[in-house]
Amino acid sequence: MIESGTISKQEDSNRIHLVISQFLFLSGIVFLWPFTRLYFDNPDTFQYLSLARKYSEGNFHLAINAYWSPMLSWLISLLLIAGIPGLIAFKFMQIMLGSFMIYQWKKLLDLFSMSKWSRVILLYTAVPFALSYAMIHTSADLLFLFSLLIFIRLLIRDLFHSDKRKHFYLLPFAGAFLYFSKAFGAPLFIFMLSAAELYRHYLKNDRGNLPLYFNRLTIFLLIIAPWIILISFKQGHFTVSEAATFNLSQEVSPRAGQTTFLPVLHNQLTEPQDSLALSAWEAPGETLREDNSGQPEEISEFREFLKLINRNLLSIWYYDFSRQPGIVFLILLAIALILRTKFRDEIRHPEIFLSLVLITAVYAGYSLILFHYRYSWICMFLMLLISAVCLERIFETSQNRIPVLVILSAICLLAIKRPVKEVLFSEDKDVSFFHLRMSLASPITALEVNFRPEKELKEILELFSNLPDESMRFASLDNPAFDRDTYSRSLMIAYNKRWQFIGQRDSINANELAEHIIDYFIVWKKSHENVEVPENFEQILKDEKGTMILYKTGSP
């Protein structure tokens, strides 16, 4: 029996490491802030900001949207109401979510049977992920990861303590939080709740909880029903989310060997859906409805759908398993099952069983629609966790724990390679070992070089300060060779000036611009590039390096 004094010391040690991990995270934020505070990696960022601004200004009917996470926009709107400017408010929200995510990760680790130092290694592994999510990936993915950690922890605790109903109502609220964080959370919650009920029924022989299951499901549906009614009314048909329909459209869904080429973002001018929308990307599926007489053209042939699944499975394999911790997880799981009879029974314990089910469910769900490695970081976390358990069981007969800690540390270092590269280089790109070593040795120099475009963008935004706000419409020149995504940079200007961005073209057609009543046209270019513009275009602004030139089009 463990003495109470020993337990108290272990709890104190756990608190100390949690405090240290939070300190490391916040120190990393302070260090990265001057370089990354204006960084954004995709145009989705400004859709959340646009919707949040609508909420904060009371334009609720225009803020109802079936494509983007409502929860993230609701949370950001609170910071906007407090007077914090747009992108900074988004970053502040991400920082808070990153801190909360580390705390929830620690709480989940406490539910697994493993040594103290394995927990410590896994706890600190979450810090680079939190930094990358908070400062690089301005999207709903961190919020979804945070909500998943809450949900899986509550679900495991519920199976551990099925005779106690203290947290009865927390699970359906956690499920609603999942859905409001990302629409994928709704089917995921129902599937996981059903899996837990089957586990309780068949593996625990607890067959008197079916009413409890339906009560929780009913509460969950009642919580999310008002939002579903609102977006269904706005879309004109029943819908839980339009994101999946858009991602499954033939215009979006890539096949094996193809890249995702999103409509609206490339070489087209498209009207926004309402007077306060920044661009048509706020409701991208509506453009496809107009092009296809009412509905996006979804994949109908089974053979084409199989090609889509094949492409997504290849992406999952490449990002999470090929030379990644995922393959190590599979090997360790197989070894533990073969060598340790005790582990074959342990795998049926709630924490491991539900973690494996969640990994499978997330991968299976995204393989049917559209996969991005940011979507599956919960799987990476859980695979690292189960890998640690497998290592402990494989080496349980050894008195020396060093091999476990060394191997686990190596796996975790492999896992954090991607977020570390994203923080240093703004993206997960192939770099030589020498380049990576030099960047780690001189991180300030690396950050100054790799996030230089954000410093230039700040200077560009200052140039726009003397131009009129609101009611202006503009387009831009698409330039794939530019250092950053030009659509996103144009959206940054649209958000700050309250202008509407109609889209970008890979060439300039004065007649088309006149048809769309374009007031201004932005040319994003390399400093050495020459771009010809119509004679009636009047140059209004130009940054020092000549990478951004703003023209007045002369449209009536």
Question: Which range is least confidently modeled, 180-194, 340-354, 470-484?
Answer: 470-484
| pLDDT tens column, 11-32 | 666 789 999 999 999 999 999 9
The pair of structure tokens assigned to 396 is 């349980």
The pair of structure tokens assigned to 295 is 């509905």
Instruction: Give domain status of residue 524, yes or no.
Output: yes
- DSSP per position, 172-200: HHHHHHHHHH-TTHHHHHHHHHHHHHHHH
- Compute the distance between CA of residue 531 and CA of residue 525 in angstroms, rounded to an integer: 8
Q: Tell me what pLDDT residue 266 has.
A: 78
- Spell 123-140 as b/e; 16+ CB within 10 A means b: bbbbbbbbbbbbbbbbbb
> What is the distance, to the nearest Å, from the Cα of residue 202 to the centroid of all Cα atoms in its chain?
35
Candidates 109, 221, 90, 102; CA nearest to 491 is: 90
pLDDT at 171 over 80: yes
The pair of structure tokens assigned to 178 is 């999942």
Alpha carbon dihedral 336, 342, 347, 352, in 10-degree steps, equals -90
The pair of structure tokens assigned to 332 is 């360790």
Per-residue confidence band for 345, with pLDDT thresholds at 50, 70 and 90:
confident
Residue range 500-529: average pLDDT? 86
Q: Tell me what pLDDT residue 184 has.
A: 94
Q: According to the 3-state scheme, what is the secondary structure of 64-133? A: CCCCCCHHHHHHHHHHHHCCCCHHHHHHHHHHHHHHHHHHHHHHHHCCCCCCHHHHHHHHHHHHHHHHHH
| pLDDT tens column, 303-319 | 778 888 888 899 999 99
- Look at strands 548-552 and 268-269 and give their pairing: unpaired
pLDDT at 147 over 60: yes
pLDDT at 109 over 50: yes
- Compute the distance between CA of residue 54 and CA of residue 310 in angstroms, rounded to an integer: 39
Question: Which range is least confidently modeled, 226-240, 270-284, 478-492?
Answer: 478-492
Question: Cβ distance 270 to 502 under 8 Å?
Answer: yes
Would you tell me how many other CB atoms lie within 10 Å of the CB of residue 110?
11
Percent of the chain with pLDDT over 90: 53
| pLDDT tens column, 158-170 | 887 655 555 678 9
Per-residue confidence band for 289, with pLDDT thresholds at 50, 70 and 90:
low
Residue range 77-93: average pLDDT? 95
Question: Which range is least confidently modeled, 29-43, 92-106, 431-445?
Answer: 431-445
Per-residue confidence band for 87, with pLDDT thresholds at 50, 70 and 90:
very high
Q: Tell me what pLDDT residue 10 has.
A: 58
549: which strand partners?
A: 523, 542
Per-residue confidence band for 152, with pLDDT thresholds at 50, 70 and 90:
very high
- With the C-alpha atoms ordered 128, 134, 140, 144, is the resulting torsion angle positive or negative? positive
Instruction: Give domain status of residue 533, yes or no.
Output: yes
- Compute the distance between CA of residue 521 and CA of residue 244 in angstroms, rounded to an integer: 33
Per-residue confidence band for 6, with pLDDT thresholds at 50, 70 and 90:
very low
Summary mean pLDDT of the chain: 87
Question: Tokens 């250092």 — which residue?
Answer: 483
Question: Cβ distance 135 to 176 under 8 Å?
Answer: no
Q: Phi and psi at residue 269, in whole multiples of 5°?
A: -100, 125
Residue range 140-167: average pLDDT? 84
Q: Residue 376 gets which letter from DSSP?
A: G
Q: Tell me what pLDDT residue 436 has.
A: 78
Instruction: Give domain status of residue 520, yes or no.
Output: yes
500: which strand partners?
A: 473
Instruction: Give domain status of residue 541, yes or no.
Output: yes
- Compute the distance between CA of residue 40 and CA of residue 123 in angstroms, rounded to an integer: 27
Prediction pTM value: 0.91
Q: Tell me what pLDDT residue 12 has.
A: 60
Question: Longest C-alpha distance within the chain, in Å?
Answer: 87
pLDDT at 297 over 80: no
> What is the CATH number for 457?
3.40.190
Question: Cβ distance 123 to 105 under 8 Å?
Answer: yes
Compare 438 and 358 and report the one with higher pLDDT: 358
Instruction: Give domain status of residue 129, yes or no.
Output: no
pLDDT at 7 over 50: no
Burial of 104 (0-12, 13-18, 19+ CB in 10 A): buried
Residue range 403-415: average pLDDT? 95
Q: Tell me what pLDDT residue 177 has.
A: 97
pLDDT at 50 over 50: yes
Question: Which range is least confidently modeled, 169-178, 234-243, 508-517?
Answer: 508-517
Distance (Å) of CA 399 to CA 119, 395, 396, 404, 436: 18, 8, 8, 11, 37
Per-residue confidence band for 492, with pLDDT thresholds at 50, 70 and 90:
very high
Number of domain units in the chain: 1
Instruction: Give domain status of residue 506, yes or no.
Output: yes
Instruction: Give domain status of residue 279, yes or no.
Output: no
Helical H segments across 252-324, by residue range:
284-291, 302-316
552: which strand partners?
A: 520, 538
Instruction: Give domain status of residue 284, yes or no.
Output: no
- Compute the distance between CA of residue 70 and CA of residue 75 in angstroms, rounded to an integer: 9
191-197 contacts at long range (C-beta below 8 A, 24 or more positions apart): 191/361, 192/151, 192/152, 192/155, 192/354, 192/357, 192/358, 192/361, 193/155, 193/217, 193/220, 195/354, 195/357, 195/361, 196/155, 196/158, 196/159, 196/354
Radius of gyration of the chain (CA): 25
The pair of structure tokens assigned to 114 is 């493993």
Domain residue limits at 500: 452-552
Strand (E) or helix (H) holding 436: helix 433-441
Per-residue confidence band for 3, with pLDDT thresholds at 50, 70 and 90:
very low
202-211 contacts at long range (C-beta below 8 A, 24 or more positions apart): 203/348, 203/353, 204/159, 204/162, 206/162, 209/162
Using DSSP's 3-state secondary structure scheme, residue 162 falls into coil
Per-residue confidence band for 401, with pLDDT thresholds at 50, 70 and 90:
confident
The pair of structure tokens assigned to 446 is 């690396």
Q: Tell me what pLDDT residue 555 has.
A: 62
